[in-house]
């Protein structure tokens, strides 16, 4: 995946703006470029645009949106910025967080109003550390519907998406100005294409074992639940061009993937009162701190598994999620009418599990303090019938990447920008700090759509000669 010298190269076809990757970031960027009246081409390695976006729950956090206002939610740029910074322990770029958050509301309004992306406010519970209802998602809560909507919007806007087009090399001059690229077709043939501006929307390196071993060794053997096309080219190309990178050890994990079924079990279950116990029938963490760090914590439990335990009220809430309905169909979720049945269906040590259930009942009744610091008094205690699902921890996507400025321009180590290179989504540095504990739910799609829009706007401006 090298960056090759531009000098002497000619391109039969030159497109003003080329976007690499047709996930949420790439398609948002392309919609923005098209809105500005500039020709854009999206190159996608897969036969159908999907990416990690299609695997997601489609939850995009944003504040001061019209959808929030209609639901009477009073959120603000200040509150959302503070929530992201507090989850990342302040170990991220505060100015970029503020810029991204300020862009979030207008981005959602624009996607919904101008491009018919169907989003609704997710109500009924708050994800860890979010102080307001601000998740905007398709009714099904699936990324499959989200990417389907984006693809439809791109088609309506007349945007060309060239599929089965894997970009392998970039051509750049001595100043880091990108002049074109080479793409590989499934039959082994190559094509070259010129461009005036390039947007990297090809996500991070979760699917690349070599990069994982080097940059996030603790997750080398983890179950990777993201898209295999996330091979880290943006970082490789960027580094060759002298771009700055940051937080390459950062990632989003998840502590609740049904095992062995491989179905995401929403963390909404935990936020509504569910608990996780290990093979010893004991709780091992504060489930309300965040699902990302819980990926590592669950993986460290005996056998790398945990059981999510919840009740009918929580089960009924879970039915809002397509993944949860799939888990029911796959028999991943088991029902128990009594505590004895719960012991039987999970095969967990009886005394320990019953002691755990008694402990959380007391905590819900306001008696005592949880040893892990969770407040159980905000939700009703668990009542029969109970439900249980065996889960494991996973790596969902990487959060480190190319440093970009407030126009999504890729920056060099010395703070100057590369002339015509932009990045967003998982290709760019996220807002989650240096590790897995800084990921506030939705940081992934947040930076995909906001940086995508900023990149599209700036790339179009460059081509229009306004930059």
From the list 18, 270, 448, 455, which residue makes contact with ligand FAD (rule: CB under 6 A)? 448
Q: What are phi and psi of 337, to 5 degrees?
A: -80, -20
Q: Does residue 306 touch ligand FAD according to CB under 6 A?
A: no
Strand partners, 172: 5, 178
Tokens of 396: 């969902």
Please give the Cα distance from 371 to 387 (Å, whole number): 24
Identify which of residues 106 and 349 has a Cβ nearer to ligand FAD in the complex: 106
332 binds ligand FAD (CB under 6 A): no
Q: Smallest Cα–Cα separation from 197: which of 439, 467, 435, 437?
A: 467
Say what angle helices 77-87 and 94-115 make with each other, to 10 degrees: 130
Contact pick of 425, 433, 438, 456 for ligand FAD (by CB under 6 A): 425
Task: Sheet containing 135-137: give its strands across.
Answer: 60-61, 135-137, 120-121
Is there a contact between 129 and 291 (Cβ–Cβ < 8 Å)? no
Query: Which two three-digit tokens encode residue 243?
Result: 């771009």
Q: State yes or no: residue 450 binds ligand FAD (CB under 6 A).
A: no
Question: Where are the alpha helices (H) located in 312-349, listed in sequence order?
Answer: 312-318, 322-329, 339-346
Contact with ligand FAD (CB under 6 A): which of 16, 51, 238, 295? Answer: 51
What CA–CA distance (Å, rounded) separates 437 from 252? 8
CB atoms within 10 A of CB 302: 10
Is the separation of the CB atoms in 136 and 59 below 8 Å? Answer: yes
Residue 84 tokens read as 């992201």
From the list 121-129, 170-178, 378-386, 440-448, the region that binds ligand FAD by CB under 6 A is 440-448
Smallest separation (angstroms) from ligand FAD to the CB of 26: 6
Q: Does 320 bind ligand FAD (CB under 6 A)?
A: no
From the centroid of its chain, how far is CA 109? 20
Q: For ligand FAD, which stretch binds (CB under 6 A), given 14-22, 236-244, 349-357, 371-379?
A: 14-22
CA distance 410 to 334: 49
In angstroms, the CA 435 to CA 153 distance is 35
Q: Which segment (269-277, 344-352, 372-380, 439-447) binds ligand FAD by CB under 6 A?
A: 439-447
Q: Taking CB under 6 A as the criterion, which residues in 219-238 touch ligand FAD?
A: 225-227, 229-231, 233
CB burial of 270-280 (b: ≥16 within 10 Å; e: otherwise) equals bbbbbbbbbbe
* Minimum CB–partner distance for residue 390 and ligand FAD (Å): 18
Residue 26 interacts with ligand FAD (CB under 6 A): yes or no: yes
Residues listed for the chain: 467
Tell the smallest beta-carbon distance from residue 338 to ligand FAD (Å).
33
Q: What is the largest CA-CA distance in the chain?
A: 76
What is the closest distance, in whole angstroms, from the C-beta atom of residue 252 to ligand FAD in the complex? 6
Is residue 317 a contact point for ligand FAD (CB under 6 A)?
A: no
- Cβ proximity to ligand FAD: between 26 and 281 the closer is 26
Report the half-sphere exposure of 255 (CA within 13 A, side-chain side).
33
CB of 271 to ligand FAD, least distance (A): 14
Which residue among 3, 15, 36, 52 contacts ligand FAD (CB under 6 A)? 52
Instruction: By CB under 6 A, tell whether 25 contacts ligand FAD.
Output: yes
- The answer to the question of residue 63 lying near ligand FAD (CB under 6 A) is no
8 A C-beta contact, residue 353 and residue 340: no
Cβ nearer to ligand FAD, comparing 48 with 384: 48
Min dist. Cβ of residue 155 to ligand FAD (A): 16
Interface residues for ligand FAD in 197-216 (CB under 6 A)?
201-203
**Does residue 426 belong to the site contacting ligand FAD (CB under 6 A)?**
yes
> 182, 259, 283, 397: which one contacts ligand FAD (CB under 6 A)?
397
Binding status of residue 277 toward ligand FAD by CB under 6 A = no
Residue 297 binds ligand FAD, judged by CB under 6 A: no
Q: How far apart are the C-alpha atoms of 197 and 15, rounded to whole Å?
A: 9
Give residues in contact with ligand FAD (CB under 6 A).
20-26, 43-46, 49-53, 55-59, 166-167, 201-203, 225-227, 229-231, 233, 264, 396-397, 425-426, 442, 444-446, 448
């Amino acid at each position: 995946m090298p960056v090759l010298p531009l000098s002497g190269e000619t391109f039969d076809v030159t497109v003003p703006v080329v976007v690499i990757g047709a996930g949420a970031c790439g398609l948002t960027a392309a919609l923005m470029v098209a809105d500005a009246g500039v020709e854009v081409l999206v190159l996608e390695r897969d036969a159908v645009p999907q990416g990690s976006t299609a695997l997601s729950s489609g939850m995009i956090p944003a504040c001061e949106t019209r959808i929030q206002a209609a639901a009477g939610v009073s959120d603000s740029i200040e509150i959302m910025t503070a929530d992201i910074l507090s989850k990342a322990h302040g170990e991220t770029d505060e100015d970029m967080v503020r810029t991204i958050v300020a862009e979030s509301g207008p981005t959602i309004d624009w996607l919904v109003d101008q491009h018919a992306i169907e989003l609704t406010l997710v109500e009924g519970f708050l994800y860890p550390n979010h102080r307001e209802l601000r998740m905007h998602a398709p009714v099904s809560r699936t990324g499959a519907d989200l990417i389907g909507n984006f693809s439809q919007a791109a088609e309506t806007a007349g945007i060309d998406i060239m599929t089965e087009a894997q970009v392998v090399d970039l051509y750049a001059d001595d100043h880091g100005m990108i002049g074109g690229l080479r793409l590989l077709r499934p039959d082994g043939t190559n094509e070259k294409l010129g461009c005036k501006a390039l947007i990297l929307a090809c996500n991070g390196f979760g699917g690349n074992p070599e990069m994982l071993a080097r940059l996030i060794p603790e997750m080398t053997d983890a179950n990777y639940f993201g898209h295999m096309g996330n091979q880290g080219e943006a970082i490789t190309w960027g580094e060759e061009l002298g771009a700055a990178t940051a937080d390459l050890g950062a990632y989003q994990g998840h502590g609740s993937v049904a095992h062995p079924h491989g179905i995401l079990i929403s963390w909404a279950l935990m936020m509504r009162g569910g608990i996780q116990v290990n093979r010893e029938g004991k709780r091992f963490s504060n489930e309300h701190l965040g699902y990302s760090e819980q990926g590592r914590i669950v993986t460290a439990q005996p056998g790398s598994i945990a059981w999510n335990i919840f009740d009918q009220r929580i089960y009924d809430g879970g039915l809002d999620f397509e993944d949860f309905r799939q888990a029911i169909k796959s028999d991943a979720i088991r029902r128990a009418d009594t505590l004895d049945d719960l012991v039987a269906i999970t095969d967990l040590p009886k005394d320990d599990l019953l002691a755990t259930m008694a402990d959380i009942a007391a905590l819900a009744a306001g008696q005592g303090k949880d040893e892990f610091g969770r407040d159980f008094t905000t939700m009703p205690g668990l009542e029969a019938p109970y439900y249980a699902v065996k889960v494991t921890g996973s790596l969902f996507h990487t959060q480190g990447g190319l440093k970009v400025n407030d126009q999504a321009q890729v920056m060099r180590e010395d703070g100057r920008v590369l002339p015509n290179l932009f990045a967003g989504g998982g290709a760019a540095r996220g807002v989650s700090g240096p590790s897995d504990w800084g990921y506030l739910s939705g940081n992934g799609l947040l930076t995909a759509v906001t940086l995508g829009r900023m990149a599209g706007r700036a790339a179009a401006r460059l081509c229009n000669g306004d930059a």
